[in-house]
Amino acid sequence: MTKLHRKSFKKMMGLAGLALICLLLGAPAVFAASQPPAAAADAPEIVTTGIPATSGMDTLTTIFTRRSVRKYSDKPVSDATVKLLLQAAMAAPTAKNTQSWEFVVIRDKNTLAQIPSFHPFAKHVPNCQVAILVCGNTKLEATKGHWVPDGSNAAMNILLAAHSLGLGGVWTTFYPYEDRTAGIRKLLNLPDHIMPLTIIPLGYPVEKRAYQDRFSPAKVHYEKW
């Protein structure tokens, strides 16, 4: 082998060695990149054990597709379903966790038929299968007036849970109208410390109402007004 050939051979071997070193150094990174990512150590655990029930409708779909329903079929609403709706209601947040709510379940058709006589916007109530009156207990509220948001949270849970189960319902207000509250108080013999907030008539809807986008950017303010 000539001197020129020996120099060329050494140069080729040097390049080959350098390439081997680079390959060995890069292997761990390539291997690591091929592995599935490890679960985040701080990922929250979702506890599902012991909850009353689940629904096939996800939360956002339930929120966005819920509509007020005032026409119901003759299909009965079971006691088990009503209990589930009440469990959903009582899962709502309240001030200082006082749970200052009370509920009256009404199935009697004679009772339901009397409500429109003192509530001008309750003509749909007699046609429902069951109604839930959401009330506030002023002896339990955290501070005067807190029974209103407490009861409102519970009522919204009922409406959302009902929709997720294929039922229809609608918020039908009593408070703060004195004539309406006086009428339902007399009809149901409510004690003075029990304040009727809203009645939610329930049943399986006879028609489907389309999604309505109510988002209004004009009503959104950032940082300050």
Architecture of the domain delimited by 59-203: 3-Layer(aba) Sandwich (3.40)
> Across-strand partners of 169?
202
Q: Give mean pLDDT, residues 11-37.
A: 46
Give just the sign of the alpha carbon dihedral 143, 83, 127, 203. positive
DSSP state of 15: H
pLDDT band at residue 47 under the 50/70/90 scheme: confident
The pTM (predicted TM-score) of the whole model is 0.80
CA separation for the pair 82, 198 (Å, rounded): 16
**Does residue 62 carry a pLDDT above 80?**
yes
pLDDT in tens, 172-193: 999 999 999 999 999 999 999 9
pLDDT digits (tens, 9 = 90+) for 122-169: 999 999 999 999 999 999 999 999 999 999 999 999 999 999 999 999
Instruction: Answer whether 154's CB lies under 8 Å from 145's CB.
Output: no
Q: Which of 92, 95, 77, 168 is nearest to 134 (CA)?
A: 92
In sign, the C-alpha dihedral spanning 76, 180, 92, 102 is negative
